[in-house]
Amino acid sequence: MYIGRIVAVGRNRRGANAGLYRVSSRSFPNRKAVELSGHLAIVPREGHEADLQKNPYIAYNCLRVAGDWAVVSNGSQTDPIAEKIEAGMPVRDALAAVLSALDYEKDQYNTPRIAGAVPLAGDTAWLAIVRHDALIVKAVALEAGQARYLATYEANDVGESQNSEFDASDAVAAARFAVDGGAFAGFEHPVTSAAALVKGSRFALATWIV
């Protein structure tokens, strides 16, 4: 099944919280996740830079640490959400304010903007989406060995059924898990992924390319 871009929040079996992001794409598969100035970003692969002229939404920061939170998203909303959290705004309000202001992407598919936020420590994360017909921001409980996910298509609501087993020993394994682990293995057209996984007193970041 093809569900497009995916954000997920979870906790591994040893109790470390994680934020995951995956690009699944049929139209622009020539992309990769990279680290840029301490953030993780989605960019065109070498030789495919001209894709940006076809669709301006395909390159963006997808993962950024904001104080005690890691923010993941499928677009330019990552930075303003993180900045509002860093400035002291409650996570729920930061997600709602930014997604409401930016709205869904005005491409041929009316692609929703999706986002997640996971704490360095704590039992509650957040998932959010703005579609052409709704704005949804919900708290989700973090449980050991589980991840909750949200996607741009099909799985474009925050529901109990969008749950996967989850485990990863480090950030690299977490990024790869978003491609071929648990429920994620059944989703088509994976391209690249990014992850933040708590290690000690900080988030460790990593990427994976299919």
Q: State the total domains in the chain.
A: 1
Q: Indicate whether 108 pLDDT > 90.
A: no
Residue 26 pLDDT grade (very low, low, confident, very high; cuts 50, 70, 90): very high
Alpha helices in the chain (DSSP H): 51-54, 78-86, 91-102, 171-180
Q: Where are the beta strands (DSSP E) in 155-201?
A: 163-165, 190-199
Banded model confidence at residue 130, pLDDT cuts 50, 70, 90: very high
- Residue at 44 is within a domain: yes
Does residue 162 belong to any structural domain of this protein? yes
- Mean predicted confidence (pLDDT) in 32-44: 95
Query: Quick one: pLDDT at residue 38?
Result: 87
Tell me, yes or no, whether 144 lies in a domain: yes
The two beta strands, 146-151 and 134-141, are unpaired
Reported as a single tens digit per residue, the pLDDT across 41-88 is 999 999 999 999 999 999 999 999 999 999 999 999 999 999 999 999
Domain-located, residue 1:
no
Range of the domain at 121: 6-209
| DSSP 3-state of 142 | coil
Q: How far apart are CA 69 and CA 67, in angstroms?
A: 6
- From the number of C-beta atoms within 10 Å of its C-beta (0-12, 13-18, 19+), residue 153 rates as middle
Residue 178 pLDDT greater than 90, yes or no? yes
Mean pLDDT of the chain: 97
CATH number for the domain that contains residue 35: 3.60.20.20
Task: In whole angstroms, give the CA distance from residue 108 to residue 105.
Answer: 9
